[in-house]
Chain A
Amino acid sequence: MSKRTWALTLTAVLGLSILLTACVAGTVPGDGAAADTSGAAAAVTPAQTDGTPTTSLGNMSTVSTMVIDRGLDEIGRACIDCHKEIQPGIIHDWRESRHGHVGVSCLDCHQVDKNSPMATQHENLIGTDIYMSALVPAATCGRCHVNEVDQFNASGHFRAYRQQIPKDSLHALVFKHEGQENSEFGSAPNETGCIQCHGTEIQLDEENRPTSHTWPNSGVGNVYPDGSTGSCAVCHTRHKFSIAEARQPAACASCHLGPDHPDIEIYENSKHGQIYAIEGDEWNWDAAPDAWEPGDYRAPTCATCHMSGIGELQTTHNVSERLYWNLWAERSEVRNSNDPMSPLLGDGEAGREMMKQVCQACHSELHTDNFFEQGDRAVNLYNVAYYDEAKKMLDELGEKGLLEENPWTDDFQLVYYHLWHHEGRRARQGSLMAGPDWAHWHGFFELQQDLYELEDIYNRRIETGQID
């Protein structure tokens, strides 16, 4: 049968059944045309018939018919039954997740103790013994994912927010300058910028719900009202919590980007990134933790080098573990501390050896060693030829009272800031993650320009004894 015949038959059958239904129901006896009109009218929502506009888009849930019993208790099922229509996106994610597979329900993560500072109750929970919170700190995940959270707690990600607490110059930048000390809106730069990557100390309103000044955010270092630190959902986003997702460079890129630490741009600039861009969609992203090896991928992503259990290496959620230098500080030093609050967290020598194990799953020893020798020379050059020289001038101008009080209007301090915080990091990180354009044109080229500019301003101020 041709398509046309099919269509005609289908229309005829449909038309007949509508007519029949209408006749049986007695709506419009015997009149086919009128029965059609009635059918159309019935499809219009009552609100529209009234002429009252409605903002509801209707039930768009693709999971609205889902009824799940397996592994859930009565309350656990009730969450899903309601939220599958209110936030079908959440339930859709969950049913695709490993949590959904093993019966980890909403309650397992969102239920809190009655005495928890974050405890709230839905109207349908009032009178029960069940308390919930929208907030799920890493500590909750750690009840099952023990080792992962312990490793996170020992990593640099742990201090993402905590390190900002004592930094007065940073608070001045964000609130005084960027927020213009506006009493009503001045917190906006912090809320829409800083806390979305670094996290913040989450505050609660009188009903124990997080305030808009502190939440929502995607900050990895959030400090929660129960005192725990960290958010896992930053890299493994809600409510799928996918290992495959966190292995993709995009998982890191929402924070590790931009002029001051263009890590995703460096990666894209690298040969690793080139291969990923061309064929990454064909790789196996789903292998079990510690079992993801070369062959599953043809080039590493951020997670491969910094976290994955390649060869004999063990998987780690301590992203500082395989690092030799601190490449974000004003001056790079070799890591030598066990304190997660220290910028030098890690054991540099041991970290380098671990990183080399990742490299050597694909590269020869000579290739690996020579690569790091190139990168280390770049870091050392930055330290002695740029940072040390710039710092010497800064200190001398400071001693002689030749620096403005507001660093953000002072040419010298502005260029100095860019030298270490932007250009200097680009040169160092570009060199050690094989992004030549960032090492050179956005890095060392800019650095020499910065240095000459600083020398120029310095000489003028020393000669005239004045800030011009």
Chain B
Amino acid sequence: MADPKSRPMTTLLLAFTLAASTSAIAQERVLRVISDRTDQGVVRPILEAFEARSGAKVEGVFMDQGLVNRLESRPTEADVVITKDAELLDIAAQRGLLDPLKSAKIRAAVPSEFMDPADRYFVDAYRARIIFYSKARVKPSDLSTYEDLASPKWKGRICLRSGSHDYNLALFGQFFASFGEAKAKAVISGIGSNLARAPKGNDREQARAIYEGKCDVALMNTYYHPMMAAEPTQKAWADAVGVYFPSQAGKGTFIMRSAAGVTKATANRDLALALLEFIVSKEGQQLIVDRTKQYSVRPDVAVHPLMVKLGAEQGLVDGRFKIDFVPLDLMAGKREEVIRFVNEIRFDAER
């Protein structure tokens, strides 16, 4: 039983502890992040590392559907926007939803081609959209360029996710920007008519289809190969496919970019910028490379060892490859053009 004499002391101690904790709670700042990544496992370690160094708490909304619409509806509810598709951030920027960064640290760390010319967002990492092929049924020498996938020799041999998905819209948009409208349309139509089945599922679903013999080649993002290899249930899919970086002898391979920016919310602007500066720091970039298996925008951050192996057969050194770089501002307006075109040719229709 407690000594009655000690009660005032205990009460005082409790009051002090309560006051201290209340004060700590009151002082803890909350940074709000909105992202189209649903798998928090990818972003969370970066946010946790930032929490540890800043003392702030980071709360998130993770939604991969309708992100821009929510941002448009509530422009200041979040402080930071992180997307896996820079095009979405470009749309947000065009709709006036992002604030200029004005950060010397970000400018210094991020190469200019990965910065929005108006300084409203930056690309924090990228991956390539490349050809995955069946090791059993396709020789690497059969592969060459994106345009080649439209040739009749691939009839009924290609698998792809929906033509209306962000990844393919971004890829086809780059076709438009790089090839010109007429050629881009011919290539997209050609790929569409070579599909082995109706576009469905996500990227990993295409690797599984190759493994099951439903098709021979697919267009997928690079990081899926190591990610599948790390999952026991998907390892067989990864083992069944090889990867090929198209057009290395020509203009290069197209990339998908993830990006980050700050909203017009002002209360936590300093914290928001601090998070973005952490993301572009060497430590932050290393975390991104380790967690997402993407390529860093910083030249001084090496390609992940698992990614170095990809394309080695093609003669790529250190995992570096030639990029057909299409600036995002050149993609403006292409997205709508692509949407209309994939609908016109009924790219997603059953076959």
* Binding between chains A and B: no
What residues make up the interface of B, taking CB atoms closer than 8 Å to A? none
